[in-house]
Amino acid sequence: MKFSTALAAAAALSFLGAIATAHSAAAEDITLELNKLEKSEKGCRAYIVVSNPTSTSFDTYKLDLVLFQTDGVIGRRLALDLAPVRADKRTVKLFDLEGTDCDGIGSFLVNDVLDCRTAEGPVNACLAGLKVRSLTKVDISK
């Protein structure tokens, strides 16, 4: 009886470990690209390309994003919701920065990942696995 209990416990730990590894690995290949900034009627529009080459879809993917002005002073902080982030998919997301001149943006910082979830639940280490890059004169970092 003790052997089967130990075996069941080992199997459960192995299963949980496999789930944790899958969740951690799922977030490792997400790339966030600041692709374009353009003037809009409201201020500045940012085009973000989100690439997820993994087989995992994310139902929730919220970032804590900080905008720095060209003088290095923080201009604003915002929560950016990129969800859904579909599996094996490259997606373009737009967001407007009302009252902000594109020329006044110095850089962006992904300060944290506020919420990152799949259908199975929360995913750990989403910030650590996130890659960022910019095709504009405005840098993005984490």
How would you classify the pairing of strands 31-39 and 89-98? unpaired
Name every residue whose Cβ is closer than 8 Å to that of residue 141 and which is 6 or more positions away in sequence.
107, 108, 109, 110, 132
- Report the pLDDT value the prediction gives residue 29, as an integer from 0 to 100: 84
Class of domain 2-141: mainly beta
Cβ atoms of 68 and 107 within 8 Å: the answer is yes
| Class of residue 23 by CB neighbours under 10 A (exposed 0-12, middle 13-18, buried 19+) | buried
Instruction: Give me the residues of the chain with pLDDT under 50, please.
Output: 1, 3-27
Q: What pLDDT does residue 24 have?
A: 44
What pLDDT score was predicted for residue 17? Answer: 40
Tens digits of per-residue pLDDT, 43-70?
999 999 999 999 999 999 999 999 999 9
pLDDT at 27: 47
Instruction: Give the model's pLDDT for residue 7.
Output: 39
Q: For position 28, what pLDDT does the model report?
A: 60
pLDDT at position 98 is 96
